[in-house]
């Protein structure tokens, strides 16, 4: 029973050590908020926070996160004997290797279980925390926690424990213990790359994907209450990892040698040349010199330190293991780059760099946390510290040297990653490397972040003077900072490090975001240096480790130069802080989340009464917009013509300015005069009492002038309304009439907290008021539109309408657009440096019709898919005008805009199209669906469904607008490509639908009653419409749509004119019924009015 | 330049009084600090080497207030701790060069010259390109003294340097030490009496944080001259002798105990007089209850 003695000793030893308790406490505390942390920002879809599935997934994820902790516990038991030089005594005892290893392993595993029981206990305690809403929870069930802990967590832990124990025992290196968590992470990442669902579930070491797979077909109710069955793929998964664990243990047992000297061959080689040479050195004279302590010698000292520590980390094999892992992961992950609808983008450098940044973060953090500890402890770990400490070196320079050395290490990893990126690009035949983008991506975006956290890590390591605790505190601080940001406390002045740099756009570079970013980073950099100064003063020098005594002794350690440095850094810190505060809080307004929430609540409570207050409608818009891309400003002046379309008198006009502090409504002048009631000025809501009451049918001209001025910078990532290159905004930025529902508080839980009634996304199909609205709070039923836009001389500005005139004045470009016919009140203003591709399309049917001008405005170099888009425009026009109705405008323009948003959006005759989705897709016609083509077709279809026929703002609205556009685009895709491509596209939609359904917690509505669920109106809509035309024939569907448009189009639709309301799905389905044979009538009900499962017969 | 320790005290947080009002004046030359394990030697040495705070008292090296002007002292300090390790994956030359930078030798060529000279002096030149992980105990200790001498120290502190060295290595080590000019205050702490006798012009014996004796070794020995007697006895008689005589040491010679006693008069009883040795002084201080010395 020798192993039992060793086992007991191990446990007793560990129980006496504080780190065991610290680990446990950490685990416990973290687990209390575990569910919130893991599921933060994820809509878990009406599932209770203590549903067995949620508990199991949280446990799995936390176990994954804390594998490092497992490594620290399991990696050290054998290593310890070598570290404390007790191995020789230990191994010369008459104990068996089996007993020794078994005892140590089981003892450590028992401790591991004790520590991880913090997970179980913590999560249980978490359930009873006072801040939870009882409605989010089932009654407490101990078994719901215990079962996943035993079936899911223990096997994972066993595998981790075996792996870490064996690698620690065989390598006998502490750094291996730190870094082996990474091995498991690599395994985890590799399983993510497996495309086969089953295999992925089988090999996921933390069983997250496994749990997803086995519960995939569960309904919400089942997910809520059903315990996780320990069978099927979960059982196999656990079996696999447990067996792997046993295999590793067995292998380790075979390999482990019960001797102290681990490599005899190497040892011999080293000792042989060290024969003592007995030449007497006593005659040697030591040269005379004076030690220098001036500035130059300090500089030399610093250089020397930096290089010394840099090299010392470079010599660690563990570092290179991290580098190689990083490079491999990137090569695996980069397989899917900038993927939109299953189509990859060209491996442009900015995609690569984003992928690199994302997947390398973990590696950088590991290096940061562990090597900062290693470096701070470098001298002490080899017992060389007393010699160091007795020299005249400066603490500060030494610390800075270590700091710079570590920064050098980051740079090595960055360069390796860049290399792997370039290799990847080359392998894919892409040679436009853009080193500048690589450089910026790492050295501008990542490095400052790492530098700042390295300050923290050094500071904490010095202060705590305990490597493990230091690492943990750094981790906690890191997480805390994220949590703080997530709760909206993200002001650059106190959110450590400020926010990250805005998305890089090929069109706009880093734009105007760069300068504030650098200022904020400098602010934190000065703070970091201050931390380093403090750290250098209180760092351990000599044998005194007690923090209070160190603090007391520090007064003799502050040299003049340190004092000066500290003072100047403090000064810079305060100065920059003041400057930032001036910019973010004085020039601009800073709102925390709760301030914003309260504002929204007050807005609704005060102004909701005006929601359906009779207002005139905008019928004419005539504006002059001046854009200033350099200074990020615009001014707009002009008029709205307002018409009383109601049958009662209107005596006041309610004007809502967009609630944004940098937008100012300079003047509003009503023809005939009005007095302004400023009672609701807080909400930028003005009531103008008209001097002359507006009679039904009367119009009044409202002149206004508005400015948008960018002053300084905002905290966080400011606005993208006007940017240096690629401005895109729409008329929602301009004054609107009446109450704006968009300012209401949306979150259902918050609404309950503030005693607000439940908010419905869409009114029912019988809501009389909303049937008259095409949009939420619509202030127009169609406008005549004319606009002049001025912009800088290198840019082209575009708005809907025919370009009447174009001229230059004061080194600015001016464009005058006018829409010939009535259009919806929805227009975009776009301006950028553009290349243009032009073509025309002439209708085959109506030979008298004017040709339509087709134009694609794109950023230089983004010309990969222009032909596809052009073809899409032509085929779409052909198909839609043949099958639905003629195209109503004289031009169609596609304009690229920066990838701050990833969508394309249809406006009358214009489609702003994001840089991210189509312009740079690498479409392989064999494998991919031509998404540049498809998206173009979809947006063009909106010129019919959205521009010609509008839908009432009630349930089902988005089926009319989006589902029909999907249908139309699919038909064009089928015509241009093949049925097979359509099937491929629909398969993707089916995935999206399933994904969306899983995330949604409300009862799924039918298509006809869809509200804002895009997985229904896009994904399911596409599939069901396709099935519908399969059943009743394409031509019948088209006939129905043709009739629908004819009767309901906004301008002269027969029924539209008669009823004065907009169309609903009720109307639409009527047209469907007309063209459907009697025996198939039931499918209309099935496809559009029920939530029957997808018909995937064809997919 | 003289090292003056005045009333130095240090009590550890666990209550151990490591130094109790220590006062010593240490002139240039070799000074031996003799005491058993745990006597407070290392505490004193570390305090002198600026590595530990004292509770009270002052220490001056010339004008330098050691307890406050730590960095000034460090510039003229050489220190070889009792225990130290070396980076394994680094050569002797590189590490010594590194220490030279730490000690403020900024000029590259001077640094190279100094490092080479010290490598010669400590007889490590031939192995300068070897990784330190392969160094034997003696080589490691010589490396230690090489780094301590890098900055031409005015105060050199060597803490138990010969523990664990074989006689050859020990001699080699002392050869290096003995060559130091008379301009340096060298403090050698040890529990080996021979070391002090061979090397030091001045010495002190400390135990339990107190200075028991200080002075010139030869003079100290002189005081005992003619008072030390020895006898080979049977082991079972030891207790009886201890009761009747002032036994200052007992050791074995070919398996039989030999005792030394201290006596002002001829003790008779087959005791024979021997020449007093420093060891006798040491043992009489540590174990003897003779306090009138």
What is the C-alpha separation between A49 and A132, in angstroms, rounded? 9
Element (H, E) at A965: helix A964-976
User: What share of chain A in percent tops pLDDT 70?
Assistant: 93
The pair of structure tokens assigned to A243 is: 């067996």
pLDDT of residue B233: 87
User: What share of chain A in percent tops pLDDT 90?
Assistant: 46
**B201 and B234 in a common domain:** no
Show residues of chain A in contact with B133, CB under 8 Å: 270
CA nearest to B36, candidates B262, B293, B285: B285
Asked whether residue B293 is domain-assigned, the answer is: no
- Nearest residue of chain A to residue B107 (CA atoms): A297
What is the C-alpha separation between B32 and A717, in angstroms, rounded? 69
Using alpha carbons only, give the angle A369, A372, A375 rounded to the nearest 5 degrees.
150
- Nearest residue of chain B to residue A297 (CA atoms): B106
User: Does residue A264 register a pLDDT over 50?
Assistant: no
- Nearest residue of chain B to residue A282 (CA atoms): B121
pLDDT of residue A140: 85
- Nearest residue of chain B to residue A379 (CA atoms): B87
Asked whether residue B291 is domain-assigned, the answer is: no
Show residues of chain B in contact with A276, CB under 8 Å: 123, 138-139
Asked whether residue B256 is domain-assigned, the answer is: yes
Show residues of chain A in contact with B107, CB under 8 Å: 289, 292
pLDDT of residue A183: 67
User: Does residue A810 register a pLDDT over 90?
Assistant: yes
Q: What is the mean pLDDT of chain A?
A: 87
Q: For residue range A328-340, what is the model confidence (pLDDT) as tens digits?
A: 766 666 555 656 5
Sign of the four-CA dihedral A414, A419, A424, A430 = positive
- Nearest residue of chain A to residue B65 (CA atoms): A556
Dihedral, CA of residue B164, residue B166, residue B168 and residue B173, to nearest 10: 0
The pair of structure tokens assigned to A165 is: 């124990």
Instruction: Supply the CATH number for residue B104's domain.
Output: 3.40.50.300
Q: CA distances (Å), A402 to each of A513, A844, B103, B278, in order? A: 32, 74, 17, 49
Sign of the four-CA dihedral A419, A422, A426, A431 = negative
Dihedral, CA of residue A1070, residue A1075, residue A1076 and residue A1078, to nearest 10: 90
CA nearest to A79, candidates A8, A17, A164: A164
Q: Which of B50, B103, B123 sits opposite A291 (nearest CB)?
A: B103
Beta bridge partners of A620: A641, A784
Asked whether residue B258 is domain-assigned, the answer is: yes
SS3 B186: strand
CA nearest to A437, candidates A426, A447, A445, A448: A445
- Nearest residue of chain A to residue B80 (CA atoms): A387
What is the C-alpha separation between A47 and A226, in angstroms, rounded? 11
Q: Tell me, rounded to whole angstroms, the distance of Cα A367 from its chain centroid.
A: 23
Q: Please, are residues A1007 and A959 in contact by the beta-carbon 8 Å criterion?
A: yes
What is the C-alpha separation between A148 and A154, in angstroms, rounded? 9
Rounded to the nearest angstrom, the minimum Cα separation between A273 and chain B is: 8
Rounded to the nearest angstrom, the minimum Cα separation between B133 and chain A is: 8
User: Does residue A996 register a pLDDT over 80?
Assistant: yes
Rounded to the nearest angstrom, the minimum Cα separation between B212 and chain A is: 26
What is the C-alpha separation between A127 and A660, in angstroms, rounded? 40
CA nearest to A608, candidates A774, A751, A768: A751
- What burial class does residue A598 get, using C-beta atoms within 10 Å of its C-beta: 0-12 exposed, 13-18 middle, 19+ buried? middle
Mean pLDDT over A430-450 rounds to: 89
DSSP 8-state code for residue B19: E
How many residues are given for chain A? Answer: 1099
Asked whether residue B292 is domain-assigned, the answer is: no
Rounded to the nearest angstrom, the minimum Cα separation between B215 and chain A is: 28
pLDDT of residue A789: 97
**B144 and B72 in a common domain:** yes
The fold of the A589-759 domain, in CATH, is Immunoglobulin-like (2.60.40)
**B201 and B262 in a common domain:** no
Mutate which of B42, B47, B51, B157 to test chain A, going by most A C-beta atoms within 10 A?
B51
Residue after which a domain boundary falls, among B163, B192, B215: B215
The pair of structure tokens assigned to A115 is: 């520590």
pLDDT of residue A838: 95
For chain A, the maximum distance between any two Cα atoms, rounded to a whole number of angstroms, is 117
SS3 A440: helix
Show residues of chain A in contact with B120, CB under 8 Å: 281, 284
What is the C-alpha separation between A427 and A443, in angstroms, rounded? 25
User: Does residue A346 register a pLDDT over 50?
Assistant: yes
A738: left (phi over 0), alpha (psi -120 to 50) or beta: left
Q: CA distances (Å), A1026 to each of A340, A568, A938, A1096, in order? A: 21, 69, 14, 11
pLDDT of residue A846: 72
Asked whether residue B128 is domain-assigned, the answer is: yes
Q: Which residues contact A472 (CB under 8 A, 6 or more apart)?
A: A22, A26
The pair of structure tokens assigned to A770 is: 């909303």
Asked if the Cβ–Cβ distance from A387 to B81 is below 8 Å, we say yes
Q: Tell me, rounded to whole angstroms, the distance of Cα A1043 from its chain centroid.
A: 44
Domain residue extents for chain A: 2-260, 298-587, 589-759, 790-799+825-936, 964-1089
Q: Please, are residues A938 and A946 in contact by the beta-carbon 8 Å criterion?
A: no
pLDDT of residue A623: 97
Q: Which residues contact A645 (CB under 8 A, 6 or more apart)?
A: A616, A617, A696, A697, A781
Rounded to the nearest angstrom, the minimum Cα separation between A178 and chain B is: 20
State how many domains chain B has.
Answer: 2
Q: Please, are residues A670 and A690 in contact by the beta-carbon 8 Å criterion?
A: yes
**B234 and B115 in a common domain:** no
The pair of structure tokens assigned to A64 is: 């994954």
CA nearest to A363, candidates A409, A405, A311, A403: A409
pLDDT of residue A674: 93
What is the C-alpha separation between A110 and A108, in angstroms, rounded? 5
Asked if the Cβ–Cβ distance from B102 to A288 is below 8 Å, we say no
Residue after which a domain boundary falls, among B215, B235, B258: B215
**B69 and B22 in a common domain:** yes
Q: For residue range A828-853, what is the model confidence (pLDDT) as tens digits?
A: 999 999 999 999 999 877 767 789 99
Element (H, E) at A687: strand A685-694
Which domain covers residue B129, as residue numbers? 3-215
Q: Are strands B228-232 and B256-262 parallel, antiparallel or unpaired?
A: antiparallel
**B191 and B141 in a common domain:** yes
Asked whether residue B125 is domain-assigned, the answer is: yes
Domain A790-799+825-936 in this protein, CATH class: alpha beta
- Nearest residue of chain A to residue B128 (CA atoms): A274
pLDDT of residue A341: 60
Beta bridge partners of A838: A855
Asked if the Cβ–Cβ distance from B106 to A296 is below 8 Å, we say yes
- Nearest residue of chain A to residue B178 (CA atoms): A282
Show residues of chain A in contact with B85, CB under 8 Å: 382-384
Asked whether residue B126 is domain-assigned, the answer is: yes
pLDDT of residue A261: 59
SS3 A729: strand
**B264 and B131 in a common domain:** no
SS3 for A230-251 is CCHHHHHHHHHHHHHHHHHHHH
pLDDT of residue B292: 37
User: Does residue A574 register a pLDDT over 90?
Assistant: yes
pLDDT of residue A853: 94
**B163 and B245 in a common domain:** no
Q: Please, are residues A1048 and A1063 in contact by the beta-carbon 8 Å criterion?
A: yes
User: Does residue A290 register a pLDDT over 70?
Assistant: no
Rounded to the nearest angstrom, the minimum Cα separation between B288 and chain A is: 33
Q: Tell me, rounded to whole angstroms, the distance of Cα A376 from its chain centroid.
A: 34
How many residues are given for chain B? Answer: 293
pLDDT of residue A75: 85
User: Does residue A1021 register a pLDDT over 90?
Assistant: yes
The pair of structure tokens assigned to A311 is: 């090299």
Show residues of chain B in contact with A383, CB under 8 Å: 83-85
Q: What is the interface pTM, i.e. ipTM, of the complex?
A: 0.85
Q: Please, are residues A238 and A151 in contact by the beta-carbon 8 Å criterion?
A: yes
Range with lowest mean pLDDT among A45-54, A518-527, A672-681, A807-816: A45-54
Residue after which a domain boundary falls, among B215, B232, B259: B215
Rounded to the nearest angstrom, the minimum Cα separation between A601 and chain B is: 60
- What burial class does residue A218 get, using C-beta atoms within 10 Å of its C-beta: 0-12 exposed, 13-18 middle, 19+ buried? middle
Show residues of chain B in contact with A387, CB under 8 Å: 79-81, 84, 99, 144, 147-148
* Radius of gyration of chain B, Cα coordinates, nearest whole angstrom: 21
User: Does residue A404 register a pLDDT over 50?
Assistant: yes
Show residues of chain A in contact with B74, CB under 8 Å: 390-392
**B157 and B243 in a common domain:** no
The pair of structure tokens assigned to A508 is: 């706009």
pLDDT of residue A44: 60
Asked if the Cβ–Cβ distance from B51 to A293 is below 8 Å, we say no
Residue A749's Cβ-side half-sphere holds a number of Cα atoms within 13 Å equal to: 8
Q: Which residues contact A550 (CB under 8 A, 6 or more apart)?
A: A538, A539, A540, A544
What is the C-alpha separation between B139 and B166, in angstroms, rounded? 11
Which has more pLDDT, A678 or A288?
A678
CA nearest to A808, candidates A800, A799, A797: A797
Q: Which portions of chain B are predicted below pLDDT 50? A: 290-293
String of DSSP letters for A917-937: TTTTB---TTTS--HHHHHHH
**B195 and B270 in a common domain:** no
pLDDT grade for A869, boundaries at 50, 70 and 90 = very high
Q: Which of B49, B88, B106 sits opposite A390 (nearest CB)?
A: B49
Rounded to the nearest angstrom, the minimum Cα separation between B80 and chain A is: 7
pLDDT grade for A173, boundaries at 50, 70 and 90 = confident
pLDDT of residue A1018: 94
SS3 for A804-854 is EEEEEECCEEEEEEECCCCECCCCEEEEECCEEEEEEECCCCCCCCCCEEE
Backbone torsions φ then ψ of A331, nearest 5 degrees: -65, -35
Rounded to the nearest angstrom, the minimum Cα separation between A378 and chain B is: 9
User: Does residue A268 register a pLDDT over 60?
Assistant: no
pLDDT of residue A338: 59
Q: Which residues contact A791 (CB under 8 A, 6 or more apart)?
A: A626, A627, A629, A727, A797, A812, A813, A815, A831
CA nearest to A407, candidates A453, A439, A362, A445: A453
pLDDT of residue A114: 93
Q: For residue range A736-751, what is the model confidence (pLDDT) as tens digits?
A: 999 998 899 988 888 8
Q: Please, are residues A180 and A189 in contact by the beta-carbon 8 Å criterion?
A: no
**B210 and B268 in a common domain:** no
**B250 and B146 in a common domain:** no
Beta bridge partners of B185: B29, B155
Asked if the Cβ–Cβ distance from A386 to B50 is below 8 Å, we say no
Mean pLDDT over A260-272 rounds to: 46
pLDDT of residue A329: 65
Q: Tell me, rounded to whole angstroms, the distance of Cα A803 from its chain centroid.
A: 39
Mutate which of B12, B53, B83 to test chain A, going by most A C-beta atoms within 10 A?
B53
Asked if the Cβ–Cβ distance from A297 to B102 is below 8 Å, we say no
pLDDT grade for A909, boundaries at 50, 70 and 90 = very high
CA nearest to A290, candidates B174, B107, B217: B107
């Amino acid at each position: 029973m020798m192993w039992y003695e060793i086992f007991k000793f191990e446990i007793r030893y560990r129980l006496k050590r504080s780190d065991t308790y610290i680990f446990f406490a950490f685990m416990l505390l973290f687990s209390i908020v575990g569910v919130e942390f893991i599921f933060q920002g994820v809509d878990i879809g009406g599932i209770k926070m203590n549903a067995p599935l949620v508990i199991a997934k949280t446990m799995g994820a936390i176990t994954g996160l804390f594998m490092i902790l497992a490594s620290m516990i399991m990696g050290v038991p054998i290593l310890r004997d070598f570290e404390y030089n007790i191995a020789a005594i230990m191994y010369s005892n008459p104990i068996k290797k089996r007993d020794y290893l078994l005892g140590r392993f089981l003892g450590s595993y028992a401790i591991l279980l004790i520590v991880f029981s913090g997970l179980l206990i913590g999560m249980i305690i978490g359930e009873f925390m006072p801040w939870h809403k009882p409605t989010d929870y089932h009654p407490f069930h101990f078994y719901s926690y215990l079962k996943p802990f035993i079936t899911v967590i223990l096997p994972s832990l066993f595998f981790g424990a075996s792996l870490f124990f064996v690698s620690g025992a065989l390598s006998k290196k502490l750094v291996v213990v730190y870094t082996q968590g990474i091995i498991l992470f690599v395994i985890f990442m590799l399983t993510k790359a497996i495309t086969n669902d089953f295999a992925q579930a089988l090999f996921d070491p933390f069983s997250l994907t496994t749990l997803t797979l086995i519960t995939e077909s569960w309904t919400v109710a089942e997910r809520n209450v059903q315990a996780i069955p320990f069978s099927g793929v979960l059982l196999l998964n656990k079996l696999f990892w447990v067996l792997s664990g046993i295999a590793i243990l067995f292998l380790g047992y075979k390999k482990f040698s019960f001797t102290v000297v681990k490599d005899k061959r190497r040892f011999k080689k080293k000792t042989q040349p060290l024969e003592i040479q007995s030449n007497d050195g006593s005659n040697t004279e030591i040269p005379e010199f004076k030690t220098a302590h001036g500035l130059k010698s300090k500089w030399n000292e610093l250089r020397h330190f930096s290089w010394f520590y840099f090299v010392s980390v470079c010599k660690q094999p563990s570092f290179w293991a991290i580098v190689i892992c990083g490079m491999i992961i990137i090569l695996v992950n980069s397989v899917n780059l900038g993927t939109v609808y299953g189509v990859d983008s060209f491996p442009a450098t900015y995609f690569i760099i984003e992928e690199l940044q994302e997947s390398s973060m973990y590696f950088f953090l590991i290096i940061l946390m562990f090597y900062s500890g290693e470096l701070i402890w470098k001298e002490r770990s080899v017992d060389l510290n007393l010699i160091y400490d007795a020299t005249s070196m400066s603490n500060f320079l030494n610390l800075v040297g270590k700091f710079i050395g570590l920064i050098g290490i980051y740079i090595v990893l960055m360069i390796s990653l860049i290399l792997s990126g370039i290799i990847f690009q080359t392998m894919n035949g892409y040679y436009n490397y853009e080193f500048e983008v690589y450089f910026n991506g790492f050295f501008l975006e990542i490095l400052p972040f790492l530098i700042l956290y390295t300050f923290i890590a050094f500071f904490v390591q010095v202060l705590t003077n305990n490597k493990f605790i230091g690492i943990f505190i750094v981790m906690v601080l890191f997480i805390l900072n994220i949590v703080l940001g997530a709760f909206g406390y993200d002001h650059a002045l106190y959110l450590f490090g400020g926010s990250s740099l805005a998305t890089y756009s090929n069109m706009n570079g880093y734009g105007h975001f760069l300068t504030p970013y650098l200022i904020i980073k400098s602010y934190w950099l000065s703070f970091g240096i201050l931390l380093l100064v403090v750290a250098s003063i209180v760092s351990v020098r000599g044998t005194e480790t007690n923090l209070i005594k160190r603090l007391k002794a520090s007064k003799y350690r502050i040299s003049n130069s340190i004092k000066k440095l500290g003072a100047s850094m403090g000064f810079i810190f305060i100065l920059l802080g003041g400057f930032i505060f001036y910019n973010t809080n004085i020039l601009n307004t800073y709102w925390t989340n709760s301030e914003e929430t309260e504002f929204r609540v007050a807005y609704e409570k005060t102004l909701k009464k005006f929601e359906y207050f009779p207002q005139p409608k905008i019928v004419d818009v005539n504006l002059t917009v001046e854009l200033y891309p350099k200074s990020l400003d615009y001014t707009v002046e002009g008029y709205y013509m307002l018409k009383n379309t109601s049958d009662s008198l209107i005596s006041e006009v309610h004007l809502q300015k967009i609630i944004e502090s940098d937008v100012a409504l300079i003047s509003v002048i009503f023809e005939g005069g009005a007095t302004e009631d400023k009672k609701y000025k807080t909400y930028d809501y003005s009531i103008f009492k008209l001097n002359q009451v507006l009679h039904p049918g009367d119009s009044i001209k409202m002149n206004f002038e508005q400015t948008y001025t960018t002053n300084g910078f905002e905290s966080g990532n400011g606005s993208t309304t006007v940017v240096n290159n690629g401005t895109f905004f729409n008329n929602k930025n301009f004054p609107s009439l009446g109450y704006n529902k968009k300012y209401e508080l949306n979150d259902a839980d918050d609404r309950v907290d503030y005693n607000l009634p439940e908010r419905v996304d869409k009114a029912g199909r019988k809501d009389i008021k909303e049937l008259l609205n095409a949009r939420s709070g619509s202030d127009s039923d169609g406008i005549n539109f004319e606009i002049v836009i001025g912009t800088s001389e290198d840019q082209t500005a575009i708005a809907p309408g025919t370009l009447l005139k174009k001229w230059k004045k004061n080194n600015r470009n001016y464009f005058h657009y006018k829409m010939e016919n009535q259009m919806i009140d929805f227009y975009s203003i776009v301006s950028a440096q553009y290349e243009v591709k032009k073509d025309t399309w002439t209708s085959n049917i109506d030979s008298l019709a004017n040709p339509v001008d087709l134009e694609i405005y794109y950023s230089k170099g983004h010309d990969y898919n222009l032909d596809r888009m052009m073809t899409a425009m032509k085929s779409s026009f052909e198909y839609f005008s043949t099958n639905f109705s003629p195209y109503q405008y004289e031009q169609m323009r596609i304009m690229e805009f920066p990838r701050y948003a990833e969508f394309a959006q249809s406006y009358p005759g214009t489609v702003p199209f994001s840089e991210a989705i189509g312009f740079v897709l690498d479409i392989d016609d064999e494998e991919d669906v031509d998404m540049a083509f498809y998206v173009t077709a979809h947006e063009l279809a909106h010129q019919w469904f959205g521009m010609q026929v509008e839908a009432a703002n009630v349930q089902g609205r988005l089926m009319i607008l989006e589902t029909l556009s999907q249908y139309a685009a699919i038909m064009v895709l089928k015509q241009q490509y093949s049925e097979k491509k359509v099937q491929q596209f629909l398969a993707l939609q089916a995935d999206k639908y399933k994904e969306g359904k899983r995330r949604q917690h409300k009862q799924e509505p039918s298509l006809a009653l869809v509200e804002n669920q895009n997985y229904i109106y896009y994904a399911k809509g596409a599939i069901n419409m396709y099935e519908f035309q399969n059943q009743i024939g394409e031509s019948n569907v088209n006939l129905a749509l043709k009739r629908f448009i004819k009767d309901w189009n906004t301008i002269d639709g027969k029924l539209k004119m008669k009823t004065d309301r907009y169309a609903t799905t009720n109307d639409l389905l009527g047209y469907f019924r007309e063209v459907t044979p009697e025996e198939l009538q039931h499918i209309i009900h099935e496809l559009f009015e029920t939530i029957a499962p997808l018909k995937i017969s064809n997919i | 330049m003289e090292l003056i320790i005045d009333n130095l005290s240090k009590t550890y947080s666990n209550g151990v009084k490591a130094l109790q009002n220590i006062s010593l004046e240490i002139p240039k030359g070799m000074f031996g600090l003799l005491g058993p394990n745990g006597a407070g030697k290392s505490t004193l040495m570390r305090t002198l080497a600026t590595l530990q705070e004292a509770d009270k008292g002052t220490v001056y090296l010339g004008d330098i207030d050691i307890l406050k002007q730590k960095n000034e002292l460090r510039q003229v300090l050489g220190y070889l701790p009792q225990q130290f390790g070396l980076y394994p994956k680094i050569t002797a030359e590189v590490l010594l060069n590194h220490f030279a930078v730490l000690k403020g030798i900024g000029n590259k060529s001077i640094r190279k010259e100094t490092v080479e000279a010290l490598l010669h002096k400590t007889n490590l030149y031939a192995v300068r390109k070897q990784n330190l992980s392969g160094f034997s105990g003696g080589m490691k200790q010589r490396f230690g003294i090489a780094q301590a001498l890098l900055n031409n120290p005015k105060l050199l502190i060597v803490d138990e340097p010969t523990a664990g060295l074989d006689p050859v290595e020990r001699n080699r080590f002392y050869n290096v030490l003995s060559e130091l000019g008379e301009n340096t205050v060298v403090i050698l702490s040890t529990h080996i009496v021979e070391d002090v006798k061979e090397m030091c012009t001045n010495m002190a014996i400390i135990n339990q944080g107190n200075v028991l004796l200080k002075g010139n070794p030869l003079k100290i020995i002189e005081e005992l001259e003619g008072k030390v007697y020895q006898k080979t006895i049977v082991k079972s008689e030891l207790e009886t002798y201890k009761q009747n005589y002032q036994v200052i040491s007992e050791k074995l010679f070919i398996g039989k105990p030999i005792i030394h006693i201290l006596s002002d008069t001829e003790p008779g009883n087959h005791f024979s007089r021997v020449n007093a040795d420093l060891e006798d002084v040491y043992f009489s201080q540590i174990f003897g209850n003779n306090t009138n010395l």
